[in-house]
Structure 1
């Protein structure tokens, strides 16, 4: 009985892993590179290869923890030859991006973080549910990075009443249909403008 009681506090400490807050620095900084990832995570945990891109394309990406679905990070570079200057970095489900963004948030929760409505693309195609921020709290983040999201409903929405949020159209985050279909953040990425277009 005493042994069981002693184990209880240890079990409480071994609960769900805490979320990891990400800043636009270190591995995720504007000047990151494959070399930095190898230095930080170890050569055995970093692999650069061709991965599927949107609309049937392929692209070069550096993967960190490539064989671990829950830990895998994907870095896509502006400078593919030297594998540096991140274009975008896909985060894991346990990571919290600058501004408090994470996988699983509803559209309304993201709108609250931004402090104003934003625009996302309609569902049902390669860029379906994609969203960025032109204004609001999430448009000017420390470190100069930009954040982008992909929203997805749990089931493919059908019916005439949801036609207005399907396909290549812009949808306001304030549209009540987004809550009706239960759209939530499916992926989070941070990135940087092309070096030619930086201040």
Structure 2
């Protein structure tokens, strides 16, 4: 799953680079950034950066920086695509994050560092995790805020499935080539006021630009954030995956 996740992000960059778009993103037409929409319970002095974990490189680096007592070397994460081996940092606390290792290099090379929001429709969506990216991305941010940080709209997958709500391409914005992945999700109790038809138009196995009127109105929040090493993908595989992504995109 994680390998596919990196591949989606990388191929998204290829798609963005191969297209010469003449469209102009009108950020004024998208919900204005609300300064309190992702109000964090964490003070600036408590903020921790995911990139610092990635720079630890290996298990020894993790234990040296954060303390061996805060590292759970072996654990299993269950997803819709199966069980995956991972390492937990600060397990069972508000600072918990998942660490994935490069294939064939367990404990020797960190591939991906992931923090999850753990939000639900019945709980407070205010994040309590101190983790964020050095680019300013954090859990609980509204899509409109992320668009503002990126400087333009971007492409995401449809909501409501295992790979739903993931950014496929930053479309040449400020977050492009930063090796950052985020996932959006909807935690409203009424589909954000959308009709079933409109909600369906932004759900399922498809890709679309965040200029889409339905996703603008829904304005979902970030519930997963990760930083990662760029995956090794051959030119042939990259071209093949690019074509598959383009087939699923909804025309602007």
What's the TM-score, normalizing by structure 2?
A: 0.62
- The correspondence of residues 151-190 of structure 1 with structure 2, limited to 5 A, is 151-155=184-188, 157=191, 159-190=196-227
Confirm or deny: 8 A CA contact 2:112 2:228 kept in the other structure. Answer: yes
Aligned to 1:4: none
Distance 2:75 2:206 in 1: 30
Counterpart for residue 98 of structure 2: 74
Distance 1:196 1:118, change over 3 A: closer
Map 1:16-165 onto structure 2 (within 5 A). 17-18=43-44, 20=47, 22=49, 24=51, 26-29=52-55, 32-68=57-93, 70-91=94-115, 93-132=129-168, 133-141=170-178, 146-155=179-188, 157=191, 159-165=196-202
Aligned with 2:201: secondary structure?
helix
The runs of 5 or more residues in structure 1 that have no matched partner are: 1-14
CA RMSD after TM alignment: 2.4
Higher strand share: 1
Q: Which runs of 5+ in 2 are unaligned?
A: 1-40, 117-128, 235-252
CA drift of 1:23 comes to 6.4
Question: What SS does the aligned partner of 1:84 have?
Answer: coil
Q: Partner of 1:11 in structure 2?
A: none
TM-fit CA distance, 1:138: 0.5
Q: 1:168 to 1:16 in 2, by over 3 A?
A: closer
- Could you give the per-residue CA deviations for residues 55-77 of structure 1, whole angstroms, max 9, x where no partner exists? 33111111111121x11011101
CA gap 1:103/1:16 in 2 versus in 1, 3 angstroms:
closer
Give secondary structure in 1 for the equivalent of 2:113.
Answer: strand
Number of residue pairs the alignment of both structures matches: 176
When normalised by structure 1's length, the TM-score is: 0.77
8 Å contact from structure 2 (residues 151, 173) kept in 1: yes
